[in-house]
C-alpha cells in the first residue's frame, strides 16, 4: 500500500476515534439540523475515493519524473516544477486543500449521477459537513491561529515565517496563506473552474481567445527588433524579479497527472485538473509539432471562513514582506539549513568545493537523482571531470538559497551570491563592534539590516523609476507609521498579473563583460535561453563579476506597443534544456485565467479609471489604434481583455515605465507592504535615529564593491551608464559605506549603570533587559536575563555565570568506545588510552628506586644524629652505675 495513502487513512482513523459516540463516517458527517443536503450521504464514499485518487496521482507523478530523470529526459515543465520545490508545511497544506477539493468535486458528481440535476453549491453540504471535511483532510490544522511571543526579541526581530507581524491578525503576510483578493474572483463556474476552461463559454457575449494566439498576435517581438531604454539599466529589470522572489511564490499542484483519469498532463491536451493545457492555434508555427503546451494549475489553498461559500484560492508559499526572505528562507527549517551553525559569528553556509578567487559561492543542493544535474552543462563534452567530482560529492551544480528559484538564470544567481556575501560581511563587522553578541544575535541583526536595505533600495530607488515621480508622490504619500488595520498580504492580481510587467523589458541576450567593462572571449554574450538553469557557468566561466558588469552597463529593453516580449521568452523558454520550449507570455495569461482574475475593464473601474467599451475608447486609452483594433478582434470586447496584457499595453506615465492601471495596482500593493509591516525600517523603535540616518544612504553600488572584484561602479546602478569611463572607483565618496558604529551596544544603561556581563558567555541589551547565553561547552547557572528596576535602580536578579560542562561525566559517552575522554575548558578531547612505553617504565623504575634510596638515607641520618629516647636513658643508667 502507498505510504501517503496509509498516512491519509491513519489520519482519517484518528478523527473517527476522536468521535465519542460512533466510529463511523456516517456519524461524523451526520446532519443534525433537520435540513436536507443532497451531498451528505455521499461524504464517506467520496472522501475515501478522493484519498485514493489524490495519492495515486502523486505516486504516478513521482514515478514518471524518476523515469525521466534516469533517462536524462526532463522536460521544461519538469524543470519548472523542480525549482518550485516547496517546504514540508507548504506541501502539507497543498495536499490537504487538494484532498478537500477532490472530495467536494466527487460529491457533486455523485449527486448529479443520482439526481441528474446540478446541485446548488450552497445547498450541497451542510456547514457541519464542510467543517468535518476540513478536519479530516487536514485543512483545519493548517488554518490554526499561531500563538505569538510577547517578549523583547519578538519586538526586535521579525519571525522567519512572517507570522505574528500583526498581533491581532498573526497570519497576515505570513508564508502559506492565500493571496488576498481586491476584487472577487470570476471563475467559469461557482466552484473555481478557470476562465477559458470551456472554449465555448462566453463573457460579455464573446468567448476568450487562446492565450497562445494573444501571445503571437500582440506580444511576439523578434530579438533584433527591440528599442533600448535611454535612461534605465538592465539591473533595474533584474531588481524587479529579485523583489518578486522576496514576496511571491505560487506553488503548482504536486501532481502532473489528472486526478480523475490519471492522464499525464505533459502529454494530454484535455482539460482535467490539474491539467489546464495551452491550446496551439492552427495558425501557429508550432501547430505541426504539438497540439498544446503543458500547463498545470496553481495549487489550491485551505481557506478560512464559511466553508459552503468557499471558492478556489491560490497559495503564497513565502512571506509577503520585503524582508530578504529569498536570502534567508520563509521556513524555520530552511533558515536553519542555510546557517553555518558551527560558526560563532552567525555566518551563512558557503560552498565547500568552489570559490570565486577569495569570495564565496552559495552551497550546492544535494543530488536527488544519480543521473541528473539540472543545472549542469547539457553538452556531454563539457566538464565531465567536474560532473564526476560532483557525483562523488553527492551534489549538483544547482545552488541552495532562501528561494527555490535561485538557479533560474545567471542574473538571479549573481544577486543571490552578492547578498549571501553581504550577510557574512555584515556579521563580521558587527562582531568586531559587539564581541559580546551571540551568533544568533549577529545573524538576526544582519538579517534585520538586510531587510531594511531591500526596503530602501526598492522604495527609494526602484519604485520612483517604475511609477514615475508624479505617480509616486500621488499614490505613495510619506510614511506616517505602522497601521495594524492594513493587510500587507500579497494580492492575487499583483502576483499573477501586475508584478509580471517587467517581462516585457527583458533583453534577449545576457551581456557578460570582463575587467574594465570590456568584451571578453572567455565569457561572451549569451542568448537568454542559454542562461536559464545554467548555474555551472558561474563557477566555470568567471564567477558573478562578468554578469554584474553586464547588468550595470547594459540598458533595459524599452517596451512599446509593437515591441512587447522578445522571442527568447515566447519561443525559446527553456529550449536549451531539451523538449518543446514554453512561452512566457502565454503562461502569464493562462495563470491569470487559472486564478480567476477579472478582466481589464473591472480593474480599470476599481482604480477609478475610465472603462473602455468600444475600440475607439480603447484606442484613446492605449494611444494606439492598431493595438486597440488587434485586441478588439481577439477578445470581441475590451471588457474581456486579460488584465496583464491590457495593463502592459497602456503607455507609460511621465518619468515611469508603467501606465495608469499598473501604477494603481503596484502602488496599492507596495503601500500596503510598507504601512502594514510592523518592522518597517522607518517605524519608530525598529532602528534608532542614528541607525536610520546611516541606512538611508545605503548604496547597491557599494554592496557590489564590497562583495565582488569589481573596482568601478556607477553612482546610480539603476540608471543607464553610457560608457565604462563614466563609472566611478569604489573609493569615490559617492559610493558611500554603511557605517555600523551606531549599532555598537552601550556598556551602561541610564537607570542602572554598567551592564552586567558574563565570562565565557554572550549578552544582549534588549530595551531594559539583558539576555544571556553561554558559549558552546558551558551551561548557564542562574537567570537567563536580568532587568533594570527603575525604583531601586539596580539590575535584578543577579547576573548568571557560565560554568564549564564536563562532557566526560555524562552517562552516555561522548567518545567512541575505544577512545578516552578528557575534559577541556568549553570542550573535550577524545584520545587513545595511555599505554606504558619502555621509556616510561624505565623512568618509573628509576624514580621509585631513587625514592627508596633517599628514604633509607634519611632514616640512617636520623638514627645517627637523633638517637632514640630509650638509647639516651640506657646511656645515663650506665653512667650512674659506674
Strand order in the sheet with 761-766: 761-766, 769-774, 785-789, 794-796
pLDDT digits (tens, 9 = 90+) for 318-340: 999 999 999 999 999 999 999 99
pLDDT digits (tens, 9 = 90+) for 595-641: 999 999 999 999 999 999 999 999 999 999 999 999 999 999 999 99
Residue 83 has what pLDDT?
65
Share of the chain above pLDDT 90, in %: 73
Give the C-alpha separation, 640 to 623, whole Å: 19
Give the C-alpha separation, 448 to 595, whole Å: 34
Residue 373 has what pLDDT?
78
Helix axis angle, 43-70 to 3-17, nearest 10°? 160
At 389, list the grid cell: 567530482
Give the C-alpha separation, 320 to 178, whole Å: 11
pLDDT digits (tens, 9 = 90+) for 493-518: 999 999 999 999 999 999 999 999 99
Give the C-alpha separation, 589 to 582, whole Å: 13
* 532 beta partners: 409
Across the range 688-708, mean pLDDT stands at 97
The better pLDDT of the pair 876, 454 is held by 454
- List alpha helices for 159-256, DSSP H: 211-214, 234-247
SS3 labels along 709-737: CCCEECCCCCECCCCHHHCEECCCCCCCC
Across the range 668-675, mean pLDDT stands at 98
End-to-end CA distance of the chain: 118
Which one-letter DSSP state was computed for residue 833?
Answer: P
Give the C-alpha separation, 60 to 629, whole Å: 46
Q: What are phi and psi of 299, to 5 degrees?
A: -65, 145
Q: Residue 218 to residues 43, 214, 628: CA-CA distances in angstroms?
A: 47, 6, 10
The better pLDDT of the pair 544, 863 is held by 544
Give the C-alpha separation, 175 to 490, whole Å: 10
Q: Residue 451 to residues 130, 147, 176, 385, 679: CA-CA distances in angstroms?
A: 40, 24, 20, 40, 9
Q: Residue 210 to residues 196, 321, 598, 646: CA-CA distances in angstroms?
A: 8, 35, 17, 15
Residue-range domains of the chain with CATH: 3-144 (no CATH), 746-807 (2.10.70.10)
Residue 580 has what pLDDT?
79
pLDDT digits (tens, 9 = 90+) for 773-830: 999 999 999 999 999 999 999 999 999 999 999 988 876 778 888 898 899 998 899 9
Residue 92 has what pLDDT?
94
* Cβ–Cβ < 8 Å for 332, 164: no
Across the range 666-693, mean pLDDT stands at 98
DSSP of 281-303, one letter per residue?
PTTSGGGGT-SEE--BPBPB---
* Cβ–Cβ < 8 Å for 622, 629: no
Closest CA to 402 of 342, 323, 494: 323
3-class SS at 112? helix
DSSP of 478-529, one letter per residue?
PP----TTS--SPBHHHHHTGGGGGGGG--SEE---BTTTB--TTS--EEGG
Quick check: 380 pLDDT over 60?
Answer: no
Which one-letter DSSP state was computed for residue 116?
Answer: S
Phi-psi region of 685 (alpha: psi -120 to 50; beta: other; left: phi over 0): left
Q: Residue 677 to residues 163, 437, 680: CA-CA distances in angstroms?
A: 11, 26, 5
* Cβ–Cβ < 8 Å for 799, 782: yes
Residue 19 has what pLDDT?
39
* Cβ–Cβ < 8 Å for 553, 721: yes
At 411, list the grid cell: 542574473
Give the C-alpha separation, 262 to 403, whole Å: 31
Residue 881 has what pLDDT?
44
pLDDT digits (tens, 9 = 90+) for 424-444: 999 999 999 999 999 999 999
* Cβ–Cβ < 8 Å for 555, 229: yes
Q: What average pLDDT is seen over the chain?
A: 88
Q: What are phi and psi of 182, to 5 degrees?
A: -90, -25
* Cβ–Cβ < 8 Å for 576, 378: yes
Quick check: 22 pLDDT over 80?
Answer: no
Task: Give the list of residues 6+ apart from residue 449 with CB closer than 8 angstroms, or none.
Answer: 426, 695, 738
- The residues assigned a catalytic role are 245
Q: Is 709 annotated as a binding residue?
A: no
Let me know how many helices (H) and strands (E) the chain has, helices first.
31, 28
Which one-letter DSSP state was computed for residue 87?
Answer: -
Residue 485 has what pLDDT?
98
DSSP of 398-429, one letter per residue?
EE--SSTTTTSBHHHHHHHHHHHHHHHHHHHH
Confidence class of residue 725 from pLDDT cuts 50, 70 and 90?
Answer: very high
Confidence class of residue 138 from pLDDT cuts 50, 70 and 90?
Answer: very high
Give the C-alpha separation, 679 to 170, whole Å: 14
pTM of the full predicted structure? 0.89
The better pLDDT of the pair 429, 852 is held by 429
Quick check: 519 pLDDT over 60?
Answer: yes
Across the range 35-44, mean pLDDT stands at 89
* Cβ–Cβ < 8 Å for 276, 297: yes
Quick check: 562 pLDDT over 80?
Answer: yes
* Cβ–Cβ < 8 Å for 638, 677: no
The Cβ of residue 585 has, within 10 Å, a number of other Cβ atoms equal to: 29
Residue 1 has what pLDDT?
43
3-class SS at 229? strand
Share of the chain above pLDDT 70, in %: 85
Q: Residue 638 to residues 604, 627, 646: CA-CA distances in angstroms?
A: 11, 12, 9
Residue 807 has what pLDDT?
87
Amino acid at each position: 500500500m502507498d505510504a501517503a495513502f496509509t498516512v491519509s487513512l491513519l489520519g482519517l482513523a484518528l478523527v473517527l476515534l476522536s468521535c465519542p459516540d460512533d466510529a463511523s463516517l456516517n456519524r461524523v458527517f451526520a446532519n443534525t439540523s433537520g435540513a436536507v443536503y443532497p451531498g451528505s450521504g455521499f461524504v464517506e464514499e467520496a472522501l475515501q475515493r478522493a484519498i485514493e485518487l489524490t495519492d495515486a496521482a502523486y505516486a504516478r507523478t513521482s514515478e514518471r519524473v524518476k523515469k525521466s530523470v534516469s533517462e536524462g529526459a526532463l522536460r521544461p515543465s519538469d524543470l519548472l516544477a523542480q525549482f518550485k520545490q516547496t517546504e514540508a508545511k507548504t506541501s502539507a497544506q497543498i495536499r490537504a486543500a487538494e484532498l478537500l477539493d477532490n472530495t467536494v468535486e466527487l460529491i457533486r458528481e455523485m449527486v448529479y449521477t443520482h439526481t441528474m440535476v446540478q446541485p446548488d453549491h450552497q445547498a450541497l453540504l451542510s456547514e457541519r459537513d464542510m467543517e468535518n471535511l476540513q478536519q479530516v483532510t487536514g485543512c483545519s490544522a493548517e488554518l490554526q491561529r499561531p500563538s505569538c511571543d510577547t517578549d523583547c526579541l519578538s519586538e526586535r526581530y521579525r519571525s522567519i515565517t512572517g507570522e505574528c507581524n500583526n498581533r491581532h491578525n498573526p497570519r497576515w503576510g505570513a508564508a502559506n496563506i492565500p493571496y488576498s483578493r481586491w476584487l472577487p474572483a470570476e471563475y467559469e463556474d461557482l466552484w473555481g473552474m478557470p476562465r477559458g476552461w470551456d472554449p465555448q463559454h462566453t463573457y460579455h457575449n464573446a468567448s476568450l481567445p487562446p492565450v497562445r494566439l494573444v501571445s503571437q498576435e500582440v506580444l511576439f517581438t523578434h530579438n533584433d527588433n527591440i528599442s533600448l531604454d535611454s535612461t534605465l539599466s538592465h539591473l533595474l529589470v533584474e531588481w524587479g524579479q529579485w523583489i518578486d522572489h522576496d514576496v511571491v511564490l505560487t506553488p503548482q499542484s504536486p501532481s502532473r497527472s489528472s486526478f480523475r483519469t490519471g492522464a499525464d498532463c505533459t502529454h494530454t491536451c484535455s482539460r482535467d485538473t490539474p491539467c489546464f493545457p495551452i491550446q496551439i492555434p492552427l495558425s501557429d508555427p508550432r501547430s505541426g509539432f504539438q497540439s498544446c503546451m503543458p500547463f498545470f494549475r496553481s495549487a489550491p489553498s485551505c481557506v478560512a471562513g464559511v466553508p459552503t461559500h468557499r471558492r478556489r484560492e491560490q497559495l503564497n508559499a513565502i512571506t509577503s514582506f520585503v524582508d530578504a526572505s529569498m536570502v534567508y528562507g520563509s521556513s524555520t527549517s530552511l533558515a536553519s539549513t542555510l546557517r553555518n551553525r558551527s560558526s560563532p559569528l552567525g555566518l551563512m553556509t558557503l560552498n565547500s568545493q568552489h570559490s570565486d578567487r577569495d569570495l564565496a559561492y552559495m552551497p550546492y543542493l544535494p543530488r536527488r537523482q544519480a543521473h541528473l544535474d539540472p543545472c549542469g552543462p547539457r553538452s556531454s563534452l563539457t566538464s565531465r571531470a567536474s560532473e564526476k567530482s560532483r557525483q562523488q560529492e553527492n551534489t549538483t551544480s544547482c545552488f541552495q538559497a532562501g528561494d527555490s528559484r535561485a538557479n533560474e538564470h545567471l542574473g538571479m544567481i549573481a544577486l543571490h551570491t552578492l547578498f549571501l556575501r553581504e550577510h557574512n560581511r555584515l556579521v563580521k563587522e558587527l562582531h568586531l563592534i559587539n564581541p559580546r553578541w551571540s551568533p544568533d544575535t549577529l545573524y538576526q541583526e544582519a538579517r534585520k539590516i538586510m531587510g531594511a536595505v531591500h526596503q530602501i533600495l526598492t522604495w527609494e530607488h526602484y519604485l520612483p523609476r517604475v511609477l514615475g515621480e508624479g505617480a509616486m508622490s500621488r499614490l505613495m504619500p510619506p510614511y506616517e507609521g505602522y497601521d495594524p488595520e492594513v493587510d500587507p498580504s500579497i494580492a492575487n492580481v499583483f502576483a499573477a498579473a501586475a508584478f509580471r510587467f517587467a517581462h516585457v523589458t527583458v533583453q534577449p541576450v545576457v551581456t557578460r563583460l570582463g575587467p574594465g567593462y570590456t568584451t571578453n572571449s572567455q565569457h561572451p554574450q549569451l542568448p537568454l535561453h542559454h542562461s536559464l538553469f545554467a548555474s555551472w557557468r558561474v563557477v566555470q566561466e568567471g564567477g558573478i563579476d562578468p554578469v554584474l558588469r553586464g547588468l550595470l552597463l547594459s540598458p533595459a529593453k524599452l517596451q512599446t506597443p509593437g515591441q512587447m516580449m522578445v522571442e527568447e521568452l515566447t519561443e525559446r523558454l527553456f529550449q536549451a534544456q531539451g523538449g518543446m520550449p514554453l512561452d512566457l507570455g502565454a503562461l502569464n495569461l493562462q495563470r491569470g485565467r487559472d486564478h480567476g482574475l477579472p478582466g481589464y475593464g473591472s480593474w480599470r473601474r476599481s482604480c477609478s479609471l475610465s472603462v473602455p467599451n468600444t475600440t475607439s475608447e480603447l484606442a484613446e486609452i492605449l494611444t494606439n489604434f492598431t493595438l486597440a483594433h488587434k485586441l478588439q478582434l481577439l477578445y470581441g470586447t475590451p471588457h474581456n481583455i486579460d488584465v496583464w496584457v491590457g495593463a502592459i499595453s497602456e503607455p507609460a506615465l511621465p518619468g515611469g515605465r508603467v501606465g495608469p492601471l499598473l501604477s494603481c495596482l503596484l502602488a496599492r500593493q507596495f503601500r500596503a507592504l510598507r504601512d502594514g509591516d510592523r518592522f518597517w525600517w522607518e517605524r519608530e523603535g525598529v532602528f534608532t535615529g542614528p541607525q536610520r540616518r546611516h541606512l538611508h544612504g545605503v548604496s547597491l553600488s557599494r554592496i557590489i564593491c564590497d562583495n565582488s572584484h569589481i573596482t568601478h561602479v556607477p553612482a546610480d546602478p539603476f540608471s543607464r551608464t553610457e560608457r565604462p569611463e563614466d563609472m566611478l572607483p569604489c573609493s569615490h565618496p559617492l559610493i558611500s559605506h554603511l557605517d555600523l558604529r551606531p549599532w555598537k551596544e552601550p556598556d551602561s544603561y541610564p537607570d542602572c549603570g554598567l551592564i552586567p556581563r558574563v565570562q565565557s558567555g554572550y549578552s544582549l541589551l534588549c530595551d531594559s533587559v539583558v539576555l544571556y547565553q553561554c558559549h558552546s561547552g558551558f551551561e548557564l547557572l542562574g537567570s537567563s536575563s536580568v532587568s533594570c528596576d527603575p525604583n531601586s535602580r539596580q539590575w535584578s536578579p543577579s547576573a548568571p555565570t557560565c560554568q564549564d560542562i564536563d562532557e566526560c561525566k555524562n552517562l552516555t559517552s561522548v567518545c567512541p568506545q575505544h577512545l578516552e575522554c578528557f575534559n577541556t575548558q568549553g570542550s573535550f578531547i577524545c584520545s587513545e588510552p595511555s599505554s606504558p612505553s619502555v621509556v616510561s617504565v624505565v623512568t618509573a623504575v628509576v624514580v621509585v628506586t631513587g625514592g627508596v634510596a633517599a628514604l633509607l638515607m634519611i632514616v640512617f641520618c636520623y638514627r645517627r644524629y637523633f638517637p632514640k629516647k630509650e638509647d639516651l636513658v640506657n646511656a645515663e643508667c650506665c653512667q650512674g652505675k659506674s
